[in-house]
Amino acid sequence: MKRLSLIAATMLALGACASGPPIPDWQMNAKSGLERAVAAYLSGNDRLANAEFARARSDMSSSGQFSQVARAELTRCAAHLASLVLDDCPAFEALRPDAGAPERAYADYLAGHAQAGDAALLPQAQRALLTVPAEPAITLAAIGDPFSRLVAAGVLLRSGHASPAVLALAVDTASSQGWRRPLLAWLGTMALRAEQAGDAAQAQRLRRRMDLVQEVPAR
């Protein structure tokens, strides 16, 4: 993956201007580790993703700052949500009492119940969805970063506002990036909806596409 997301850049706040003081090694290591972890997770490589997340969390815990470690866990939860793994982010919840307001607001956003007053605390790309727009797919399409767009799509689905256009955009986003795990998840959701609507032909087409995504290379 050429880049992670604006979420990681925003949540980790690891950037610094060239004229500023040198960035500590733990920050650079944590940022690159989280990028590799998310890339591995979205590609379906759990072993590598878990190893990279563990290293990134260790780097961030070396600072002794709860909010830093909370951001690592929130990045992991965002990757889960982008892939429609709708867990409750338990590793973050253990840190919630000591996390900062931005981290708590982002966790609430991922859970689908952030408040409009939290907008200023969220990454820029996610603020537009705090008040569900009349055309959520249009708002979603305006999010330029693919990972942030998938996370936002997950929030819409979790809160019951994922229209067929939202699902299609999520599929297109995952497909264009070659992210196998979220692509399978969103295709599966579309196939289920097609089955529920009685459109067996469309469901079969989507299932065939899922089979294609899961093809194992010949050895």
Residue 41 CA to residue 52 CA, distance in Å, equals: 10
- Is residue 114 within 8 Å of 108, Cβ to Cβ? yes
Looking at residue 133, what is its pLDDT?
Answer: 64
* Cα gap 14→172, rounded to integer Å: 30
* Confidence (pLDDT) at 216: 65
DSSP state of 111: T
Handedness of CA 150, 152, 154, 156 (dihedral sign): negative
Which pLDDT value is given to residue 9? 45
What gap in Å lies between CA 96 and CA 168, rounded to an integer? 34
| Per-residue pLDDT at 43 | 94
Residue 1 pLDDT:
44
pLDDT of residue 123: 82
- Do the Cβ atoms of 79 and 42 come closer than 8 Å? yes
Closest listed residue to residue 185, CA positions, set 144, 137, 151, 136: 151
Instruction: Answer yes or no: pTM beyond 0.75.
Output: yes
10-residue block means of pLDDT along the chain (219 residues)?
46 42 82 93 95 92 90 94 93 93 92 84 81 79 92 93 94 96 97 96 96 77
Nearest to 132 by CA among 104, 106, 162: 162
What pLDDT sits at residue 16? 37
Instruction: With beta carbons less than 8 A apart as the criterion, state whether 180 and 171 touch.
Output: no
Cα–Cα distance for residue pair 198/204, rounded to 1 Å: 11
d(CA 193, CA 137): 17
Find the helix or strand (DSSP H, E) in which 106 lies.
Answer: helix 101-110
Residue whose pair of structure tokens reads 């290293």 in the numeric block: 55
d(CA 173, CA 121): 26
